[in-house]
Amino acid sequence: MRIIGAQHFGGPEVLAVFEAADPLPGPQEVRIRLRAAAVNPTDTTFRAGEQPLGELGPPYVPGMDAAGIIEEIGEGSRWHKGEAVMAIALPRGKHGGAYAERLVAPDDSIARIPANINLVTASTLPMNGLTALQIIEKLDLQPEQTLAVTGAAGILGNYVVHLAKHQGLTVIADAADKDLELVKSFGVDYVVERGDDVAKRIRELFPDGVDALVDAAVLNEKAVAAVRDGGGFATVRRWMGEPGRNIAVHLINVYEEYRSHEKLDRLRQYVEEGILFPRVTDIYPAEKAAEAHRRIESGGVRGRLVLEFP
């Protein structure tokens, strides 16, 4: 099979096509013939060598989001050949990343794709969707409480906003001028201008601060000031700051959701019910992964880039 990976860490140019033996599924595992793998910012930090690897050796294969057709099943698997599924993959795990023609996945790391979207679109859902669900669960807000979201125009922010509105929260989101109409279309209650002074702008609306903030823009201490005393702050890049004021800092780690079939299936239902809306910006042949990485690192991508395997 073909895999897209790197023999050593570096810029997008280190990504290349390699040949590897087809993996075999073990007990309660399946092998998926991939059709699509989404490209996420975390893929670029993995490729650049900015993540701990343990004993993992080359080629280093990025990718946490995948969708395809089950072609082999291991002993005791509850799945069937021919089912169209989406999967979360762990580049640092034993089965490797999703930039591959074939991926072995445990039974509980996959779910059926939503009936109303195709495999390419479904590949953008698992990692960011599971991250958004983890955020909402850890913040544990009640209807009508206030949630601010930085980086709302991105896919993670998009999903957090939709889940928060579904839960009955009052949502404040940031947006640059070019993203204003997009963010408004998510159904947010208030929009503030994006920037380093976003906390000040939020406080102008809520002088006592918001009940919680999701920092998808990774502003860290520049954003936490918007949170009320005793509120919650969700960091997706493991910010280790001490904001004081009894603010609870929640470290979000989607790796904890690798075996979260029930949550993945909930995401499927949310898409079918019109609660979540995956967005694909562009599709690249898998061998052009370097181009996709350059584009995502240049910033401003609103939606997911996807690698397609014929």
Residues 5, 58 contacting (CB under 8 angstroms) = yes
Mean per-residue pLDDT, 181-209: 95
State whether 118 and 12 are in the same domain: yes
CA neighbor of 169 nearest in space, from 149, 192, 193: 149
Higher model confidence: residue 172 or residue 242? 172
State whether 190 and 287 are in the same domain: no
pLDDT recorded at residue 3: 97
Judge whether 50 lies within some domain. yes
151: left (phi over 0), alpha (psi -120 to 50) or beta: left
pLDDT digits (tens, 9 = 90+) for 222-248: 999 999 999 999 999 777 778 888 899
State whether 112 and 137 are in the same domain: no
State whether 70 and 6 are in the same domain: yes
pLDDT digits (tens, 9 = 90+) for 251-299: 999 999 999 999 999 999 999 999 999 999 999 999 999 999 999 998 8
- Kindly report the CATH number assigned to the domain that includes residue 67: 3.90.180.10
pLDDT digits (tens, 9 = 90+) for 146-165: 999 999 999 999 999 999 99
State whether 61 and 6 are in the same domain: yes
Q: What share of the chain is helix, strand, coil (3-state, %, to 5)?
A: 30, 30, 40
232: left (phi over 0), alpha (psi -120 to 50) or beta: beta
Total number of domains constituting the chain: 2
Instruction: Write out 78-103 in H/E/C secondary structure.
Output: CCCCCCEEEEECCCCCCCCCCCECEE
State whether 36 and 109 are in the same domain: yes
Residues above pLDDT 90, as percent of the chain: 89
Other C-beta atoms lying within 10 Å of the C-beta of residue 262 = 9
Read off the DSSP letter of residue 108: G
In which domain, by residue range, is 70 found?
A: 2-125+278-308
Judge whether 265 lies within some domain. no
Judge whether 261 lies within some domain. no
Q: Which two tokens stand for residue 232?
A: 């919650």
Judge whether 229 lies within some domain. yes
Mean per-residue pLDDT, 99-126: 97
pLDDT digits (tens, 9 = 90+) for 53-86: 777 889 999 999 999 999 999 999 999 999 999 9
State whether 212 and 290 are in the same domain: no
- Kindly report the CATH number assigned to the domain that includes residue 205: 3.40.50.720
Judge whether 259 lies within some domain. no
State whether 186 and 119 are in the same domain: no
pTM (2 d.p.) = 0.94
Distance from first CA to last CA of the chain, Å, rounded?
12
pLDDT digits (tens, 9 = 90+) for 20-65: 999 999 999 999 999 999 999 999 999 998 888 777 889 999 999 9
Mean per-residue pLDDT, 173-192: 94
Q: Can you tell me the distance from the alpha carbon of 43 to that of 13, in angstroms, rounded to the nearest whole number?
A: 14
